[in-house]
Chain A
Amino acid sequence: MENIDIQLIDWSRAQFALTAMYHWLFVPLTLGITFMIAIMETIYVKTGNPEWKKITKFWMKVFGINFAIGVATGLILEFEFGTNWSNYSWFVGDIFGAPLAIEGIMAFFMESTFIAVMFFGWNKVSKGFHLASSWLVAIGGNLSALWILVANGWMQNPVGMRFNPDTARNEMINFWDVLFNPAAINKFLHTIFSSFILSAAFIIGISAIYLIRNRERIFARKSILLGSIFGVLFTVMTIATGDESAREVANSQPMKLAAMEGLYYGTSEAPLVAFGILKDAGTTETPHLKEFMIELKIPNLLSYMAFLKKDAFVPGVHDLVHGNDEHQIMSYSERIARGNIARQALEDFKIAKKTKNVVLEEELRAKFQDPDFINDYFKHFGYSYFKNPHAIVPNVPLTFYSFHTMVGIGFVLMLIFVWALWLSLKDKLQNKWFLRLAIIGMPMAYIASEAGWMVAEFGRQPWVIQDLMPTHTAISNISSGMVITTFWLFAIAFTGLLIAEIKIMTKQIKIGPKIEEE
């Protein structure tokens, strides 16, 4: 690549990562706690027990704080698309337009109407209407997430579109292919279910603080019981969708799967590394080779998870970079060559238009509509921006450790939920070891949630759109100084918001649940 300002790329990526990760500190609690609040209120409406009203109103207050501090932080990502990532924004064309427009309308409708009823409507609207509003806030918030994740799913596995060489944009040819993209569906379900887990961990953790302080015992016990049932149920669902995601990633992003497992040389009957510590063993020929200093393997499980066959071949980094004839894996060198043919066709098209060579222009325009050309060449378009195949490999240790952190914490949280449920049923929630672990479970859930996004986003590098557009091609020609300035502005602003959230929430938690009108 010529004339690339590495500093601009690195700072733009750092800025996007910073804003996305801060934004994600607020989102998952909203996704899950709204459903739990709706369930609590349903119990209150069904039983008429005022204790459940008190529980509902307290967690609603916590949700309100989280929502108020977090709302609109995601819009900054859209600013960044237009300023820092203009080539990308243009190239994605109308693929993002439809989902994000639906998201905007849904979010606005939900936020302005049903949240207002939720907070202002106690004693002003009927119980049934208030309850319906609480459910609609939960459903609306999660549907909002659907459209964002459909857009993200398309970046991981671009489908349902065709590239238009006249406009340099991808145009949607099948909305349903984009919506039901397996990458989008798996990502949506895995994301919301894991967010439900985070919310359950949060509710159990805060309740544990009350029990340790010997306060609000009935409130805390009921909250823990509901949180543990919710937690157990959605841990199972998260495992199931994670398992489905493994197959999706194995098919559409095999390099990401290899990085997640630190798998350099592909193998049949591939084991799953349950725990491992990597050390660098790279040479000039094998720059990404890592060896395990310590490893705990489960035989055949990776083959089974990836292809539902315990003896299936799972390609490693080496197989994907260099190709593997036995398993019909095309080398990156070949994909670079094919990508160059597709890019040359775009270059020729540009010149034909400028020189008004109508015959050639028509011929090349038809080429970009030809399924064989798309499948054989355009599919590899993004590879043309690389000369060295080894540059098309993500950061393996970062992806590996993020993935194993997410999964490891997931299992600790499952233990907390099962233990919480068992202790709730036995009426032994004063167990100090459990209460301490439950409190630690809160930050752990946030770490796991952020780690999940790190797997998804670092694991797919160097692509901003898988196989079509590398990250460094997506960038705008702007000054890196401006990006550095805004990076620090965001860092200060978001840290301020986080401190405000923690302070306000801590104050409300200290005050505790009570019947009040707000």
Chain B
Amino acid sequence: MNILKKVFLFYYDGFRGMTYGKKLWFIIGLKLFFMFVILKWLFFPNFLKTNFKTDQERSEYVIEQLTNN
């Protein structure tokens, strides 16, 4: 049996044999969906990446903030 198949079966059997672990994986999946799909996408865009195209523009903006505040 090649190594990839062994690794696959290792994880496959491990997940299949779970009891309370299935509930935990469900929570992990729900949490990651909530974090990356809902929160990150809708509420947490990267402010500088969204509003400026280049690093130079970002630098100029932050210098402006630092010197004008």
B53 contacts the other chain (CB 8 A): no
CB atoms of A486 and B43 under 8 A apart: yes
Q: Chain B interface: which of A44-52, A69-77, A278-286, A367-375? A: A69-77
Q: How far is the CA of A4 from the CA of B68 in the complex (A)?
A: 12
Q: How far is the CA of A364 from the CA of B8 in the complex (A)?
A: 60
B2 contacts the other chain (CB 8 A): no
CB atoms of A168 and B48 under 8 A apart: no
Q: Mark A498-515, 1 if CB is under 8 A from B, else 0.
A: 001000100110000000
A360 contacts the other chain (CB 8 A): no
CB atoms of A87 and B65 under 8 A apart: yes
- Which residues of the partner chain A approach B44 to less than 8 Å between Cβ atoms? 79-80, 82-83, 486
CB atoms of B69 and A1 under 8 A apart: yes
A91 contacts the other chain (CB 8 A): yes
CB atoms of B34 and A167 under 8 A apart: no
CB atoms of B27 and A385 under 8 A apart: no
Q: Which of the residues A124, A347, A497 comes within 8 Å of B27, measured between beta carbons?
A: A497
Residues A129-176 near B (CB distance < 8 A): 165-169
B62 contacts the other chain (CB 8 A): yes
Q: How far is the CA of A518 from the CA of B47 in the complex (A)?
A: 44
A346 contacts the other chain (CB 8 A): yes
Q: How far is the CA of A1 from the CA of B11 in the complex (A)?
A: 56
CB atoms of A385 and B47 under 8 A apart: no
Known: A69-B24, A86-B48. A518 touches B19 (CB 8 A): yes
Residues B14-69 near A (CB distance < 8 A): 14-15, 17-21, 23-25, 27-28, 31-32, 34-35, 39-40, 43-49, 55, 58-59, 62-69
CB atoms of A124 and B10 under 8 A apart: yes
- Which residues of the partner chain B approach A71 to less than 8 Å between Cβ atoms? 28
CB atoms of B34 and A493 under 8 A apart: yes
- Which residues of the partner chain A approach B58 to less than 8 Å between Cβ atoms? 90
Q: How far is the CA of A194 from the CA of B31 in the complex (A)?
A: 28
A199 contacts the other chain (CB 8 A): no
CB atoms of A473 and B69 under 8 A apart: yes
Q: How far is the CB of B44 from chain A (nearest CB, A)?
A: 4
- Which residues of the partner chain A approach B64 to less than 8 Å between Cβ atoms? 350
Q: How far is the CA of A116 from the CA of B13 in the complex (A)?
A: 11
CB atoms of A167 and B67 under 8 A apart: no
Q: How far is the CB of B18 from chain A (nearest CB, A)?
A: 6
- Which residues of the partner chain B approach A1 to less than 8 Å between Cβ atoms? 69
Q: Mark A83-96, 1 if CB is under 8 A from B, else 0.
A: 11011011100000
CB atoms of A346 and B59 under 8 A apart: no
| Residues of A in contact with B, size category | 35 or more
Q: How far is the CA of A166 from the CA of B68 in the complex (A)?
A: 16
- Which residues of the partner chain A approach B63 to less than 8 Å between Cβ atoms? 165, 168, 346, 350
CB atoms of B27 and A350 under 8 A apart: no
Q: Which of the residues A79, A90, A343, A493 comes within 8 Å of B62, measured between beta carbons?
A: A90
Q: How far is the CB of A477 from chain B (nearest CB, A)?
A: 8
Q: How far is the CA of A166 from the CA of B43 in the complex (A)?
A: 31
A105 contacts the other chain (CB 8 A): no
Q: How far is the CB of A167 from chain B (nearest CB, A)?
A: 5
Known: A65-B24, A90-B48, A90-B58. A72 touches B67 (CB 8 A): no
Q: How far is the CA of A64 from the CA of B19 in the complex (A)?
A: 13
CB atoms of A518 and B31 under 8 A apart: no
- Which residues of the partner chain A approach B14 to less than 8 Å between Cβ atoms? 116, 119-120
CB atoms of A473 and B17 under 8 A apart: no
Residue of A120, A473, A486, A489 with highest tally of chain B CB at under 10 A:
A120
- Which residues of the partner chain B approach A87 to less than 8 Å between Cβ atoms? 62, 65-66
Q: How far is the CA of A86 from the CA of B50 in the complex (A)?
A: 11
Q: How far is the CA of A73 from the CA of B28 in the complex (A)?
A: 10
Residue of A82, A84, A166, A517 with highest tally of chain B CB at under 10 A:
A82
- Which residues of the partner chain B approach A477 to less than 8 Å between Cβ atoms? 47, 65
Residues A6-34 near B (CB distance < 8 A): none
Q: How far is the CB of A368 from chain B (nearest CB, A)?
A: 12
CB atoms of B20 and A61 under 8 A apart: yes
- Which residues of the partner chain B approach A425 to less than 8 Å between Cβ atoms? none
CB atoms of B43 and A489 under 8 A apart: yes
A293 contacts the other chain (CB 8 A): no
- Which residues of the partner chain A approach B49 to less than 8 Å between Cβ atoms? 82
Known: A72-B32, A87-B66, A518-B19. A82 touches B39 (CB 8 A): no
Q: Which of the residues A347, A489, A504 comes within 8 Å of B23, measured between beta carbons?
A: A504
- Which residues of the partner chain A approach B17 to less than 8 Å between Cβ atoms? 120, 517-518
In addition to A68-B24, A72-B32, A79-B40, 16 A-B residue pairs with Cβ atoms within 8 Å of each other are A2-B69, A72-B31, A79-B39, A86-B48, A87-B65, A87-B66, A91-B66, A120-B11, A120-B14, A167-B55, A478-B47, A482-B43, A486-B39, A497-B27, A500-B27, A504-B24
A-B contacts, 25 listed (Cβ < 8 Å): A2-B68, A4-B69, A64-B24, A73-B31, A79-B40, A80-B44, A82-B45, A82-B48, A83-B45, A86-B62, A91-B62, A91-B66, A116-B11, A120-B13, A124-B13, A167-B59, A168-B59, A169-B59, A343-B66, A343-B67, A346-B63, A346-B66, A485-B43, A500-B27, A517-B17
Chain B contacts to A: CB under 8 angstroms = 10-11, 13-15, 17-21, 23-25, 27-28, 31-32, 34-35, 39-40, 43-49, 55, 58-59, 62-69
10 pairs of A and B residues whose beta carbons are closest in the complex: A120-B14, A68-B24, A86-B47, A82-B46, A79-B44, A476-B47, A168-B62, A347-B67, A83-B44, A168-B63
